[in-house]
Amino acid sequence: MTVMGIDLGGTSTRALMVDTTGRQLGRGQAGGANLRSAAGGVVAAAEAVSAAASGAVEAAGGRRPEVIVVGASGAGAARHDEVSAAMRETLAGICGRVRVENDLATAFRSASESPDGYLLLSGTGAVAARFRDGSVVGRADGLGWILGDVGSGLWIGWQGLRAVAADVDGRGPATTLSTSLIGALDIQPVTGDPAQDLVRRIDELVPAQMARLAPLVLEAAGPDRVSADEVSAGICREAASGLLNSLRAVVGEGPRTVVLAGGVLAHDTVVRELVTGELEGWTVLTASDPVLGAVRIAREMIAAPTRDVARKCRCDFLDDEL
């Protein structure tokens, strides 16, 4: 028997098909199509998923999977029926059993063998989720940068810009971010007032672009605490505090296992260090490739053991990435 996992991302869509031993049979890739932000919405997403799945089938010599699981950002309760219908239709010629999962589930299952536990994600956005039997039963934040997403990459970049503004007009402490962020944004002295030059450039940014500034804040904050920029370090402490607050909001009874996901938490950053330092007594896992989470869920749908398959699949897939 064979299964396929698909990760529908904003920059790319990837499909992976494996057999019962975990051996890769085929992989496919197509362009990205975030359901909430990409032009074309569900239609563009369906086209990307179809192209990636078809590529995997072709690479597998025409073999077709018994089950396909698609992980997609924006496929939560509000749009799940709409997205599921579109995916079933676009994949009907490849597989008759298609399941759509929110990307939180595939991120969680990329690291967790158990369907029970917690996810704490900080990427462009930020959210904490509690899972029971593979379903989200509790959620905190993930509200977007205006209302929340505290501790996300976007939030960190936004706070960095606010700190630069406070520095250049004398309201706040000096920070090395005033050099690094202004340089990264290529802000030119046009108005004669550095603060107004900053405003002029920020008006041109879309929110997601602020997330690209987060690495500069994280870098300035550590890991060498002796030479760390205190303003940046303060932003990272506040980010970690916000993420931990979100996690506490969803904690219930049962095992304390949490998967850390997203660029801010899945890599060795100051924020990750601060967060894990407060998780004494927890089992802390790090999310892997979400397409592997989709494969794990698909395997469970055909009631096959997943542990060895997922481990072998992870090694094979990550050793030879798309």
Residues ≥6 apart with Cβ < 8 Å to 130: 117, 118, 136, 137, 138, 139, 250, 251, 252
For the chain, the domain total comes to: 2
Q: What pLDDT is recorded for position 33?
A: 78
Looking at the structure, tell me whether residues 62 and 172 fall in a common domain: no
Between residues 107 and 124, which one has the greater pLDDT?
A: 107
Average pLDDT over residues 220-229: 76
Where is average pLDDT lowest: 166-175, 265-274, 292-301, 310-319? 310-319
Q: What pLDDT is recorded for position 205?
A: 84
Could you read off the pLDDT of 237-250 as tens digits, one per residue? 999 999 999 999 99
Average pLDDT over residues 270-292: 96
Strand 67-72 and strand 135-141: the pairing is unpaired
Looking at the structure, tell me whether residues 96 and 217 fall in a common domain: no
Of 151, 122, 126, 154, which Cα lies nearest the Cα of 263? Answer: 122
Cβ pair 110, 134 in contact under 8 A: no
Looking at the structure, tell me whether residues 28 and 150 fall in a common domain: no
Residue 259: count other Cβ atoms within 10 Å of its Cβ: 27
Average pLDDT over residues 2-10: 92
Q: What pLDDT is recorded for position 218?
A: 96
The confidence band for 204, taking pLDDT boundaries of 50, 70 and 90, is: confident
Looking at the structure, tell me whether residues 55 and 197 fall in a common domain: no
Bridge partners for 4 per DSSP: 17, 68
This prediction's pTM: 0.84
Looking at the structure, tell me whether residues 150 and 266 fall in a common domain: yes
Residues ≥6 apart with Cβ < 8 Å to 12: 29, 30, 31, 32, 322
Looking at the structure, tell me whether residues 294 and 273 fall in a common domain: no
Looking at the structure, tell me whether residues 120 and 256 fall in a common domain: yes
What is the identity of the amino acid at 67?
A: V
Looking at the structure, tell me whether residues 222 and 292 fall in a common domain: no
Q: What pLDDT is recorded for position 319?
A: 45
Q: What pLDDT is recorded for position 297?
A: 94
Looking at the structure, tell me whether residues 274 and 309 fall in a common domain: no
Strand 12-19 and strand 2-8: the pairing is antiparallel
Could you read off the pLDDT of 82-122 as tens digits, one per residue? 899 999 999 999 999 999 998 899 999 999 999 999 999 99
Mean pLDDT of the chain: 89
The confidence band for 224, taking pLDDT boundaries of 50, 70 and 90, is: low
Average pLDDT over residues 197-205: 87
CATH code: domain of residue 42: 3.30.420.40
Looking at the structure, tell me whether residues 131 and 262 fall in a common domain: yes
Cα dihedral 160, 164, 170, 171, rounded to 10, equals: -20
Q: What pLDDT is recorded for position 278?
A: 97
Residues ≥6 apart with Cβ < 8 Å to 276: 260, 284
The percentage of residues in the chain with a pLDDT greater than 90, rounded to a whole number, is: 65
The confidence band for 222, taking pLDDT boundaries of 50, 70 and 90, is: confident
Could you read off the pLDDT of 138-151 as tens digits, one per residue? 999 998 889 999 99
Could you read off the pLDDT of 19-75 as tens digits, one per residue? 977 889 999 999 987 676 545 688 889 999 999 999 999 999 999 999 999 998 777
Range of the domain at 82: 2-110+288-319
Q: Which two three-digit tokens encode residue 130? A: 């509690």
The confidence band for 209, taking pLDDT boundaries of 50, 70 and 90, is: confident
312 pLDDT above the threshold of 50: yes
Could you read off the pLDDT of 284-308 as tens digits, one per residue? 999 999 999 999 999 999 875 544 4
Of 120, 73, 149, which Cα lies nearest the Cα of 259? Answer: 120
